Structure 1
């Protein structure tokens, strides 16, 4: 199983000069005065909070093998935050449960703690339960790539090799190799390749309006990936350098 091209290659974006971010690179932490009750707001000063993140790791590779920031300690580039703090961070996803059941969400880096491209093989950096109608917020550090798998109940189904085999959301936040651009999409590839259930999910750019969605059993696919599009680039959302606010609906029904 490989990530779709829109996430890992961002093929439609203009690739700039490759540069390695220094370990420990940090922006100024936003002050309490910048806090907003609106999670889509951003600090007027342009200084985003890094509270809770570990150090940044150096990037390497190009194209599909590109490895960005996985956090030091591993996984500390992905943290759960409160709704009141969400506006202070640069890259934020709001997760909302849509229907009647509790769901499990597992968020992972593209690269695992072993330095291999296997982060979705049981190496979630953050796992949480989302009750029906509940909303939770997650912040991502600069140059983070990966995805989240979601499934009804308390576990994520896996394929014969142990990889998460449910509907995924895929992300690339502030890609160093693409001049700070970000990207996202919904993907049913892992579930379909494992002959597992395709559940519904929608991701929308709350600042720009672009959405990617799949309804249950992939009955309706909008700007998203099924196994037939594995090698197609450009599907999903592509966002120019700057803050990102993704509204994620788990158990999306279309």
Structure 2
């Protein structure tokens, strides 16, 4: 979960199973560095860590073709990271920045391995802000700082949908504007959605919703895995850093992932 303040949930390493099995908590003891413990804990999502966190599969995941038209992998995104320091991972943001995300037509969907269909079920326009968690400056978890990194925005009229495709090893987040404007700062008070597609180290993907910070998070949002129907909403979003990950973090083993995010 990435947010713009330090009131963030810590790294939790649940047992990630296919969504037909409940998610379980296991102990995790990440390496600490003096004066930076909290920052380290905030920079990874447990749902993307896969079985390697439990002593299973380890090593770099062999990437597969995610679809046409993406930019080259960004600098550092293919470099292995010590498993005990996942907060140092730089996810793929494409080269140039944001070229790991493509707006596509429904007729193109079959060409891509990882997608999210955003749908506006409210009675007013909704502007989505969609950003890479790795910042434009190359720093992990810095993409949420819109004065330093440029997000993608798009507006959905009532009943309208937009399909977005993602490249391998993309880790992203999004939220909807309270007032329908495209100004990123207007969006930070809403429920956040998060997803990772084919983590470079494990191949796993995952998704969740969060209302942890900033204070006042609200708004109805559901995220559904099209293949399984497994859904998370604002009612089982992350609310506090100590929440149990069961029902919140949804881990998905290596393979295609098509999500549907519905507002309202």
Using the size of structure 1 for normalisation, the TM-score is 0.74
CA positional deviation for 1:64? 2.8
Is residue 167 from structure 1 mapped to residue 185 from structure 2 by the alignment? no
Unaligned runs of 5+ in 2: 13-43
Alpha-carbon distance in structure 2 between the residues aligned to 1:232 and 1:110: 23
Higher relative contact order (CA 8 A, sep 6+): 2
Which residue in the other structure is 1:198 paired with?
218
8 Å CA contact retained: 1:107, 1:148: yes
> What displacement does 1:55 show?
0.4
Relative to 1, partners in 2 of residues 1:66 and 1:233: Cα closer, same or farther, differing over 3 Å?
Answer: farther
**Contact 2:154/2:182 (<8 A) preserved:** no
Alignment of 1:36-115 (within 5 A): 48-51=66-69, 53-57=70-74, 58-59=76-77, 60=79, 61=81, 62-115=85-138
Match of 1:150 in 2: 176
Structure 1 residue ranges without an equivalent (≥5) = 28-47, 215-220
Name the residue aligned to 2:36. Answer: none
Contact 1:121 1:164 in 2 (8 A): no
The alpha-carbon deviation at position 9 of structure 1 amounts to 3.0
Q: Describe the SS at the equivalent of 1:199.
A: coil
**What whole-Å deviation, never above 9, does each CA across 1:108-152 have from its counterpart, x for those lacking one?**
111111112210111344210011110110000000112112123
Tell me which of 213, 220, 238 is aligned to 2:233: 213
Shift of 1:75: 0.9
**Cα distance, 1:130–1:182 mapped onto 2, change above 3 Å:** same
**Counterpart secondary structure, 1:177:** coil
Alpha-carbon RMSD across the aligned residues, in angstroms, is: 2.6
Q: How far apart are 1:79 and its partner, in Å?
A: 1.2
* TM-score normalised according to structure 2 size: 0.72
Equivalence for 1:19: 60
Q: Identify the residue that residue 141 of structure 1 maps to in structure 2.
A: 167
